[in-house]
Structure 1
Amino acid sequence: MKVSADNIRLSYGAEEILKSVSIGAEDKEFVGLIGPNGSGKSTLLKCIYRILKPNDGCVMLDGSPLQDMSYRSSAKKMAVVAQHNYYNFDFSVREVVLMGRSPHKKAIERDNARDYAIVDNALCTVGMERFADRSFSTLSGGEQQRVILARALAQQTPCLVLDEPTNHLDITHQLQLLKIVKNLNVTVISAIHDLNIAAMFCDRIYVLKDGIIAAEGAPREVLTRKLIKEIYQVESEVVEDSRGQMHILFT
């Protein structure tokens, strides 16, 4: 599925957070958003997945305006893994993942055997099947994030939006989670904090700074010493390992 955000503007009071920002993701492309804290990454993603309504501009899913779709319709096309997930009730892990099936259900329709099979498969995919009956609130931050990914997988959408999905994960599970996402063969738009992770997994990268797009292109085009210095005010060195994978060393 193709996703685009065109000329998005958003203000909080007198402060303009997003200043006519445009990004796009082609079908089955993994697009990363990088930039310093406060640059507007999460705000832009929230406009894309309908938590915030921009002051101007529009989001398009396969050429159709998002604002013209019902929330149920857009939830069948786009699933979200956000940074923070809080529940006021004591849900089990399986119940949290079952929430991903709600866009596919009619009002008061009960979960069926197919729903449970999809949920079990999603939990296996993220390595959380043995936690299915545990209370979600008893899990670590990293375990909760993997469950939220399972919920998004259970939603079975052609697009995933990820808001810094690896923040609470150790390096093993960071790589595991993003390998899972990369192999899903869906469109992905993700805010990413770690530049080396972005270099490893993204097909294309947008750089946000002060609410504008400062650069856009393939990782090798964007992640240069010059740009890293301009955006993050740090010196770096970009090297390749024996397999040709680029790495950024901060000096």
Structure 2
Amino acid sequence: MNIKAENINITLEKNNILKDINIEVDNKEVVGIIGPNGSGKSTFLKCIYRVLKPSDGAILLDKVDIKDMTVKESSKRLAVLSQHNNYNFDFTVKDIVLMGRSPHKRFMERDNKEDYAIVNDALKKVEMLEFKDRCFQSLSGGEQQRVILARALAQQPQCLILDEPTNHLDIKYQLQLMRIVKNLNIEVIAAIHDLNIAAMYCDKIYVLKDGEIIKYGNPKEVLTKELIKEVYEVDAEVILNKEGVYISYLY
């Protein structure tokens, strides 16, 4: 699926948060959005998954303006994995993942054999099938995020939106989650805090600063010590090798 943002602007309380943002995602790319806190990463993603409405501009899914789709229609094509997912009820893992089938169901329609097969397949992809009858609250943070990813996959989306989903996870679970996402073979748009994670898993990176895209390209083109200094105001050593880009920070 082709996803295109054209001249996206967001003005909140007279502050211009996003300024003429243009991106395109195609060919099953993993596209990273990086930038310091307050640069507009999450605000931009919320425009794509319809939590916020742009003040100006358009989000196009296969050349169709998202505002001309119902929320149910866009939810069949886009799924979201965000940073925090809190549930105050004792749902089982299976129940959580079944929620992802909602866009495909009529009002009050019961879950059927196909739904359960899709749920099992989603849990298998995130390596959590054996936990399907466990209480969600009993799982570790990394396990919970994999279950929420399975819920997103149960929507059978053509594109996955990741809104900084690994920030609170140990490095083991960050790498595990991104490895699973990379192998899904669908379009992915991810706001990423850790530059090394972005370097390892992204095909293309857009850099946001003060609500504007200041650079985009592949990780080797984008993640230079000059850009890191300009955007994050820290000195860094950038090492290029056959495996890609590695960044260490010098304070």
TM-score of the two chains, using structure 1 as the length reference: 0.95
**How many Å separate the matches in 1 of 2:106 and 2:90?**
24
Partner of 2:246: 247
**How many Å separate the matches in 2 of 1:244 and 1:190?**
21
Segment drifting more, 93-102 vs 19-28 = 19-28
Partner of 1:161: 161
**How many Å separate the matches in 2 of 1:175 and 1:109?**
37
**How many Å separate the matches in 2 of 1:189 and 1:201?**
11
Partner of 1:84: 84
Partner of 1:8: 8
Segment drifting more, 118-127 vs 145-154 = 118-127
1:91 positional shift: 1.9
Deviations 1:142-189, CA, capped at 9 Å, x for gaps = 222111101011111111010112123222222221111111110110
1:45 positional shift: 0.2
Give ranges in structure 2 of 5+ residues lacking alignment.
Answer: none
**How many Å separate the matches in 2 of 1:12 and 1:69?**
24
Query: What amino acid does structure 2 have at the position aligned with 1:246?
Result: V
Partner of 1:69: 69
**How many Å separate the matches in 1 of 2:154 and 2:78?**
12
Deviations 1:56-92, CA, capped at 9 Å, x for gaps = 1110001000000011110111111011222343322
User: Secondary structure at the residue paired with 1:185?
Assistant: coil
**Conserved 8 A contact 2:220-2:244:** no
Partner of 1:133: 133
**How many Å separate the matches in 2 of 1:250 and 1:117?**
46
Q: Tell me whether 1:144 sits opposite 2:147 in the alignment.
A: no
**Conserved 8 A contact 2:84-2:165:** no
1:31 positional shift: 0.5
TM-score of the two chains, using structure 2 as the length reference: 0.95
User: Secondary structure at the residue paired with 2:130?
Assistant: helix
Equivalent pairs counted in the alignment come to: 250
Q: Tell me whether 1:205 sits opposite 2:176 in the alignment.
A: no
Within 5 A, what are the aligned runs for 1:164-203? 164-203=164-203
**How many Å separate the matches in 2 of 1:229 and 1:89?**
45
Query: What amino acid does structure 1 have at the position aligned with 2:245?
Result: M
**How many Å separate the matches in 2 of 1:77 and 1:156?**
7
Segment drifting more, 138-147 vs 208-217 = 138-147
**How many Å separate the matches in 2 of 1:17 and 1:140?**
35
**How many Å separate the matches in 1 of 2:54 and 2:89?**
31
RMSD of aligned C-alpha atoms? Answer: 1.3
**Conserved 8 A contact 1:145-1:168:** no
Segment drifting more, 210-219 vs 78-87 = 78-87
**How many Å separate the matches in 1 of 2:191 and 2:201?**
12
User: Secondary structure at the residue paired with 2:154?
Assistant: helix
**How many Å separate the matches in 2 of 1:45 and 1:91?**
28
Segment drifting more, 177-186 vs 200-209 = 177-186
**How many Å separate the matches in 1 of 2:75 and 2:90?**
24
**How many Å separate the matches in 1 of 2:174 and 2:20?**
32
Give ranges in structure 1 of 5+ residues lacking alignment.
Answer: none
Query: What amino acid does structure 2 have at the position aligned with 1:132?
Result: K
**How many Å separate the matches in 1 of 2:243 and 2:101?**
40
Within 5 A, what are the aligned runs for 1:104-115? 104-115=104-115
**Conserved 8 A contact 1:39-1:209:** yes
Name the % identity: 61
User: Secondary structure at the residue paired with 1:143?
Assistant: helix
**Conserved 8 A contact 2:3-2:59:** yes
1:12 positional shift: 1.8
